């Protein structure tokens, strides 16, 4: 009886959870590529600029001379923003608004992939009893994580899009343009938003069927006195 219940009678994942998880997975892939790739801003090839491209964590230069550094030093190649090579110009490379963008995208990354782990457990229905007992809570957490990710990504792309042309950051901002990594961040924002809509419906649905799930758990663990054939009179 218990085995048959576990295999056949427990409620499968709803279409809202399946669609929400699928959209979150796509959004997470876009976010991961945008998070790691150094092409948020790129210079036009025709300008022959010393600045080549940058991402949240990497800058690329060619024979770049920082005008406010007293020693004659040329910066070449691509390096991590926290590398020793960029130590002397790190304050210029990382203005407060860019560190804010980094923080928003990092928190979005953690929330998105954390929720994907929970949704994978719900889709696989493992561990079964835990999922049946707490699915309405897990669905609520999924919705909160993905909707928060959507808000954080909106702030990140809005701040970066409005600040990348500041003249106190990269020199000659009119030589540069927003590149495909920034575009993937925008796509991630939209996909997370669509996923949050599905997960909101899933959270409401799982809350409504929480009593049904509780009854199924009770059937999975029947009273041991009944298994032994004891007749226990009902209590009034």
Over residues 22-69, the pLDDT tens digits come to 999 999 999 999 999 999 999 999 999 999 999 999 999 999 999 888
* Dihedral in degrees, nearest 10, Cα atoms 56, 62, 63, 65: -20
138-161: average pLDDT: 98
Kindly list the domain boundaries of the chain, sorted by start residue.
2-39+93-220
Average pLDDT, the chain: 89
Q: Please give the distance of CA 4 from its chain centroid, rounded to a whole number.
A: 37
Q: Are strands 51-54 and 41-43 parallel, antiparallel or unpaired?
A: antiparallel
Cα gap 156→136, rounded to integer Å: 30
Instruction: Say if residue 4's pLDDT is above 80.
Output: no
Instruction: Say if residue 76's pLDDT is above 80.
Output: yes
């Amino acid at each position: 009886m218990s085995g048959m219940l576990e295999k056949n009678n427990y409620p499968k994942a709803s279409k809202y959870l399946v669609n929400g998880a699928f959209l979150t997975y796509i959004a997470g892939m876009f976010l991961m590529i945008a998070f790691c790739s150094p092409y948020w801003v790129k210079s036009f090839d025709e300008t022959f600029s010393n600045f080549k491209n940058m991402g949240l964590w990497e800058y690329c230069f060619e024979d770049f001379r920082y005008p406010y550094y007293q020693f004659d030093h040329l910066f070449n190649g691509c390096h991590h923003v926290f590398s020793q090579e960029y130590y002397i110009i790190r304050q210029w490379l990382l203005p407060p608004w860019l560190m804010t963008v980094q923080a928003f995208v990092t928190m979005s990354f953690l929330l998105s992939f954390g929720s994907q782990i929970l949704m994978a457990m719900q889709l696989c229905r493992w561990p079964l009893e835990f999922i049946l007992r707490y699915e309405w809570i897990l669905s609520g957490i999924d919705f909160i994580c993905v909707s928060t990710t959507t808000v954080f990504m909106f702030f990140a792309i809005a701040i970066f899009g409005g600040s990348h042309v500041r003249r106190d950051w990269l020199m000659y901002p009119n030589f540069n343009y927003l590149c495909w990594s920034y575009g993937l961040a925008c796509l991630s924002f939209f996909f997370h938003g669509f996923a949050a809509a599905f997960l909101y419906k899933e959270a409401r649905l799982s809350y409504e069927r929480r009593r049904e799930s509780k009854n199924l758990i009770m059937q999975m663990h029947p009273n041991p006195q009944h298994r032994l054939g004891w007749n226990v009179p009902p209590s009034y």
